[in-house]
Structure 1
């Protein structure tokens, strides 16, 4: 039995409706799949970027921490250097004050004479020369002459050697020298400085560790003692 035009049109519409429904369902399925993949990819990208941001700020934090350590170390070193300089300045001031007080040593004539005797004799033994030249302050010439008279016999007795001593009266030590003597060999190339200032400097150098301990206490960081 042949279909009428109305039946054909009806079937065509039915088929078109079916195809459209299938297409809509397929499109919805594709949209859902795309949405799912989009969300997955978005989540992956977000996680990746979050990790990158965390790594970036962790790196920055470490850099800042390192900079803080360096800055703190620099500040500590600067502070330590300032402390050391202040200590050195204090010691220098004390030594300068001690030098200013050296003049008092010469006020006691007997004590100063004994000191000159020892300084002259020590110079003889240090040089061990056949001929020596002594320089002193102009006002000390009589005291040095007396010291030479007393020490030459002691030197000869100890060394079994003669010694010719010249006191240079034309080239006296400068007035600002507190006292003591300078002793030269014959050609003036070797000198023993036994002025009061040089002896103070020598003693200060030898006693510097004790001076520092007395002023500032023992160094807590020092592991070994000489």
Structure 2
């Protein structure tokens, strides 16, 4: 009986040892597999992270360059606009100087502006609104201007001096009832011409 018990114990121990060895070997295999998978996963994460950071870096670089270009373009346009406005301001000052000196060139230009305004309205009873200096000059020219334009357009033209206005030069012509007005002051003409001349001025300045 003792021998049988010994055999049983021996067999159990032998199986236990064998089973333990199998478990250990299996654990070793799993350990190696887990370590290998862990390394591969870590490598993959590292590569993906590097790719992502590289991509983000490129995007950020492009964004910085794009923003810099936009900023530079805005600055350039702002500088151009200042130069264009400066050109118009110089032109305005020259007109002021010409008008204040009441040169023959300005006087003729003023008469032309009045005649053009009357023609645009189509004649009739009209009022001329000028600054005080031009009013003094034009009051002696009214009859000649009326006759000249009347003959030109084939309609009766009757002119009278209206209320004086604050302007560097030029004229506002209104119908007597105030329903129609043509503003040909130098300021108004310069303002209108800005839109037309701006591209030409820009072309001259930045060609």
Task: Provide TM-score, normalisation by structure 1.
Answer: 0.75
Q: Could you say which residue in structure 2 is the equivalent of 1:75? A: 68
Of 124, 135, 138, which aligns to 1:130? Answer: 124
Secondary structure, aligned partner of 1:184: strand
Cα RMSD after superposing both structures: 3.0
Segments of 4+ moved more than 6 angstroms: 8-19
Gaps of 5+ in 1: 1-7, 218-226
| d(CA) in 2 for partners of 1:147, 1:109 | 16
Over alpha carbons, which structure has the higher Rg?
1
Assess if the C-alpha contact under 8 Å between 1:181 and 1:194 holds in 2: yes
* 1:173 matches 2:157: no
The CA distance in 2 between the partners of 1:33 and 1:137, in whole Å, is 109
Moved more, 61-70 or 187-196: 61-70
Q: Do 1:116 and 1:147's aligned partners in 2 also have CA atoms closer than 8 Å?
A: no
Alignment of 1:143-182 (within 5 A): 143-168=137-162, 171-174=163-166, 177-182=167-172
Q: CA deviation at 1:37?
A: 2.1
Q: Which runs of 5+ in 2 are unaligned?
A: none
1:214 and 2:177 correspond: no
CA displacement, residues 169-220 of structure 1 (integer Å, 9 cap, x when unaligned): xx2122xx32211111222243222122222333332111111011122xxx
CA distance in 1, matches of 2:40, 2:187: 79
Contact 1:99 1:200 in 2 (8 A): yes
Q: What is the aligned residue count?
A: 206
- Shift of the 125–60 alpha-carbon distance from structure 1 to 2, 3 Å rule, reads same
Distance 2:108 2:18 in 1: 125
Q: Distance in 1 between matches of 2:43 and 2:186?
A: 78
Alignment pair present for 1:46 and 2:46: no
- Cα deviation digits, residues 31-87 of structure 1 (max 9, x gap): 223211221122123323432343344334433433443343233222222221222
